[in-house]
Structure formats: C-alpha cells, structure tokens
Amino acid sequence: MSTALVLSLVIHAALLSVTFGGTSFGIPGLHLPWKERRLGANDLRIVLEMGPAPAAPAAPPVSAAPAIEPPAERADATAPVPALAPVPVPVSAPAIAAVPPPSPSPALQPITALPAAASHGFSVPSKSIPIIDKRPVPVEQETSVPNLAKVEREQQEAERLREVELITSARKQEEARREAFRVEQAKQDELARQAAAQLELERAEAARLEAERQRLARQVEMRQEALRQEQAKQAEQARVEAARLELERAEAARLEAERQRLAQQEQLRREALRQEQAKLAEQARLEAARKELERAETARLEAERQKLARQEEMRREALRHEQAKLAEQARQEAARKEVERAEAARAEIERQRLAQQEQLRREALRQEQVRQEEAARQNAARLEQAKLEEKARQEAARLEQERAEAARKEAIRAEQAKQAEAARQAAQNQEAARQEALKQEAGRQEAAKLDAAQQARLKQEQAQREKAEREAQREERLRAIGRQLNEEAAQRDAASRNSSLPSASGLRRGWLLGRADANADFVLYAEAMAKKIEMNMTFDTVKEVIKQKHVSPVVTVAIRADGSVEKVTFVVSSGVPAIDEAVRKVVASQAPYGAFPPGLARQYDVVEIRRTWVMDTAVRLQ
C-alpha cells in the first residue's frame, strides 16, 4: 500500500509541476519546471492602478505587444515581459482594482509542503508553495493582464487544492497506520500479560512440587536417621557386651595363671620339704641338735604357708566382691540405657507426631496464604484492567477530539481561503465552540475521575472488609487448632496417668465411613490422606479416562500403621474398568501416607477410610 501511495504521489507531483506557456523543446505549449529559475527575481509583477482621470492613450496594436518568452530563455530577470508566476491566494476582480500601494515586505515566502508525511516514511516530492507578494507591479500590457491573472489564479487555486488533498490523504493514511499500530501493540501487551500469568502459575506449581519433594526427602532422612541411631545403639550394646566378655576372659586367664603359679610353688615347696625330711632322716641320728632347728624351720614354714593361704583367700574374696560390683554396675548401666532408649523412642514418637501436626497446620496456613495472595492478585489485575480500559477510553476520546479538531481546522482554513471576513467570524464562533467543548470534555473527564476515585475507594473498602473477614476466619481456625492441640495434650496426660488401666488396643481395625468421628486423630489422618491425593497432580492420571461416561466411585482405602496401603476396595464402581484402575494407581502412587499418630497407633493397626471420588476438573474426595 505504501509503494502505491508513493508512486501515486510522484505521478501527481510530476503532473502538477508541468506549466503551460513557452516554446521550449518537447510538447508544444509545455515546459519542464526545473528549467525555470525559481530562485531568481520575480517573473511578473502586476500593478493595477486606477488613477483619478486616466488618459486614454492610443492603444498599440496587439501584434505590436512584446512576445511572452519562456522563463528558461530569459537572461534578464528584470525584463518587463510578463511570466505567469504561481499565485496561491485567489483574488477576485474587484480586489485587483483595489490593490494597495507596495509595501516593503518580501516578495515570496516559500512554504515546504507535507512535513508530517515525510517524517512518517512517505516519499512526497518537496514543493515550495510561494506566497505572492501583494505589492502592485506596473503593468505594461493593459489589455491582456486581467485574463492572464485570472487564468493564473485558477491554476494556482487548482494546484493548491490538489496539494491540500494530497496532504489530507497522507494524514488520513498516517492516522490509519498509527491506529493499526496501537491495536497491534494492545494485542501484544495482552499476549505478554497472559504469558506472564501462565509463567506465574507454573512457577507457583513448581514451588509447591519442590516443597512436597523436600518434605518427603526430610521424612526419608528422618527415617534413615532413626535407623542409623538404632543401629548405633545396637552396635554400642554389642561393643559393651564384647568388652565385658573380654574382661571376664582376661580375669579367668589371670586367675588360672595365679592358680598354676601357686600350685607350682606348693609343689616345689613340697618337693623341698620331702628332700629336707629325707636329709633330716638321714642325718637324724648324726645331728640331734639340728632337729630343734628343723622343727623351728618347719613351724616357720607352716606359719608362712598359712599366712599365704589367708592372703590368697582374702584376695579371692576381694576379687569376688569386685566381680559382683562390676556385674551390678553393668546391670545398672544396661537398665539405665534401656530406660534412656525407651525414653528417646517415646520422645522421638512424640516429636514426630507434633511435627506432623505442625506440618498440617503450616500446610493449612500456606493454603490460606496462597488463596489470599491469589485473591489479592486477581483484585489487582481487575484494578489494572479497569485502569487500562479507562486509559484506552481517554486515549480514544483524545484521538477523536484531535481528529475532530484537525477536521475543524481544515474546514476553517478552506473557509478562510474563500472569504476572509466570513472565515474570521466562523473561526471565532468555532473557537468559542471548541473552548466550550473543551470545557465540557474537561468536566466529563473530571466527573469520570471522581467516579473512578469513588469506585476505587469503594473497592478498597470492600477489600479491607474482606481482608478483615479472612483474618477473623483465620484467627478462628487457629483457635480451633489450638483447642484441638490442648485437647490432645489433655488426652495424652490422662492416658499417661491412667497407664496402669487395661489398654483398649483390642480394636485393631478401625473404619471411617464419613467425615466425623469421636477420634480426632483419625479424622485428621483421613483429611491429610485426602489432601495429599488432591494436591499432588493426580488429575493427570485420570484426565483422559474420565471423558467416558461414568459415575462417581465410592472407594475404601485400608492403610496400615506405617502408612502403607493394605488394599483398595470399591464399594460403588465407576462403571468403567479403566477409571477404577486409574483410581488404584493414584492411591498407590501417593503411598506411603505417613505413620499413625501415637493416639491412633495405640488403638488400631489398620484403618479403613471411605470416600466418594469426584473427578471433573480435578480429583476431590468427598
């Protein structure tokens, strides 16, 4: 379209630049405009003077009048030969007769046409529209001047009208192009906003999945840590037992070595005593005096032996006491460690239960915060959309006003070209109307601003009320959670005080067929299981198969104390085997569902939870 417009403008400009007159080379009666020296002196100055009593000079014959030479062949710019210069302002015949005396203003003031079209990429030939100097020019040929001036005025008027049409057409096309560009820009902004909203949803979903993954990783890590601690305790017990056995073996070996040493000493002593007795018997009759010495030696040796025996008995008694003391200390240490292990296990179970309750509470708070943030974001988006619509409406009104203003100004200029006085009066009237319209528009805009401010204030008050209601509901939920925690603590205290009573753990299988039960732990566990299935992208598993006609299945899920799934039973089938199988896959994909809380684990080994599965745009357990 732009190429055709440029080509049309070039052709029209070439046609409009052709002037009549002259005998130059080419078509008779035509000559090219670039052969005329437009920067030189004026080609024609016409002065029409009406004297008080003009004399009637003898009119020279027409044939004697100097011929009109083409502008390209003149050498003298001040020659009196009249050349038809462009006159943009039409002058009627009576106005020619009443031309005022010459003024010192310049003769021609060139005005370059179509500045806006050139600035916007349109190739329009630059053409200077000269403004004629109204100073009177002396007329040397009185008979042909009126007709020539009239023809020249008509030509200039036609040329000016054509240029005005070209300018108007170029402006309209430029406005159409700007409007198309604005519409395209608005579409691109809308697409960018939708893409940003999609990215925000994907980012929130990724954050939720990452949080769930971290939670599962923490649970796995906690189970592994508990297993490592249990293994470390067992290894420590084995090490202590091995050390005790090694100590006993070392003590037995030491006692055996001591016994052998004493037996060897006793044997040596007996051998020496036998030899001594033999020697004494042999020498008895020879050394009578030595008998007394022998008896004394024997008594001394006996006393020494008895002393050694008493010392050995005392050492053994002390060893027995030491062994008994060590055994008692080992038994007390083992009992203390057993008590500590039981206490640590109880504390760990209690901590896990509290952590699970805290996690459920945080999950509820996080969901509430996400819902509040989503509501705030939607509210901000609505406000932003209203602002954008208001800006678009104001921009459209401004553009419409600018177009009306441009059309009005163009009409004023055309009217001024026809009749100056009437144009001035119309301009004053239209200016007054424009001022009135501007005042009315300003009043409308002010009213619109006040209305928008009022609506914004009302929306802000509504948002504040909704926020206050949400805060009240949140506080009520937190108080309910606090009451529930207090009741559970009271139940635990009562159970610990009444631990000597018979346990009610005979009911090893429990059933929850609805949403209410006297056991609060049971209800919370069932709700946690339902939330896990609903919030973990399980809809993708059943999205394709639920397009078939089906009924909402009623499913009973049996869960063991460690969170594993025992079985899945369909009380009411969906009527489509593929949907039933998809439900089983969903239940199995989310296992395990977490160990039972201590209060629930004391009562049941297996719980059966019955829910109605509604699957339309998401998976909901009712």
Do residues 238 and 335 both lie within one domain? yes
What size, in residues, is the chain?
Answer: 622
Do residues 212 and 164 both lie within one domain? no
Do residues 211 and 172 both lie within one domain? no
Do residues 87 and 212 both lie within one domain? no
Name which of 213, 166, 140, 128 is nearest 537 in CA terms: 213
Q: How confident is the model at residue 476 (pLDDT cuts 50, 70, 90)?
A: confident
* Domain boundary, last residue among 179, 211, 226: 179
Range of the domain at 339: 190-366
Instruction: Answer whether residue 392 is part of any domain.
Output: no
Do residues 172 and 201 both lie within one domain? no
Ramachandran angles phi, psi of 108, nearest 5°: -125, 140
Do residues 245 and 362 both lie within one domain? yes
pLDDT for 279 beyond 90: no
pLDDT for 27 beyond 50: no
Range in 34-38, 206-210, 431-435 with the lowest mean pLDDT? 34-38
Do residues 196 and 161 both lie within one domain? no
pLDDT at 499 (0 to 100): 42
* Domain boundary, last residue among 124, 149, 179: 179
Instruction: Answer whether residue 81 is part of any domain.
Output: yes
Compute, in degrees rounded to 10, the torsion defined by CA atoms 294, 300, 305, 306.
130
pLDDT at 558 (0 to 100): 93
What's the average model confidence in pLDDT over 380-403? 82
Do residues 158 and 280 both lie within one domain? no
* 82-137 tens-digit pLDDT: 444 444 444 333 333 333 444 444 333 443 433 433 444 444 444 444 444 444 44
Do residues 219 and 159 both lie within one domain? no
Instruction: Answer whether residue 103 is part of any domain.
Output: yes
Instruction: Answer whether residue 495 is part of any domain.
Output: no
* 237-278 tens-digit pLDDT: 989 999 899 999 899 999 998 899 998 888 898 888 888 888
Instruction: Answer whether residue 291 is part of any domain.
Output: yes
* 353-389 tens-digit pLDDT: 888 888 888 888 888 888 888 877 887 778 888 788 8
Helix locations, 498-622, DSSP H? 520-535, 539-542, 577-589, 598-601
Instruction: Answer whether residue 401 is part of any domain.
Output: no
Specify the CATH number for the domain of residue 515. 3.30.1150
Do residues 208 and 305 both lie within one domain? yes
Do residues 297 and 232 both lie within one domain? yes
Q: Any idea which residue has 């004053």 for tokens?
A: 428
Do residues 140 and 226 both lie within one domain? no
CA distance 11 to 15: 6
Instruction: Answer whether residue 529 is part of any domain.
Output: yes
* 297-330 tens-digit pLDDT: 888 888 888 888 888 888 888 888 888 888 888 8
* Domain boundary, last residue among 347, 366, 385: 366
CA distance 74 to 36: 9
Q: Any idea which residue has 């509501």 for tokens?
A: 375
Per-chain mean pLDDT for the chain? 76
pLDDT at 364 (0 to 100): 80
Instruction: Answer whether residue 274 is part of any domain.
Output: yes
Counting the structural domains of the chain, the total is: 3
Task: Give the list of residues 6+ apart from residue 572 with CB closer than 8 angstroms, or none.
Answer: 551, 552, 553, 554
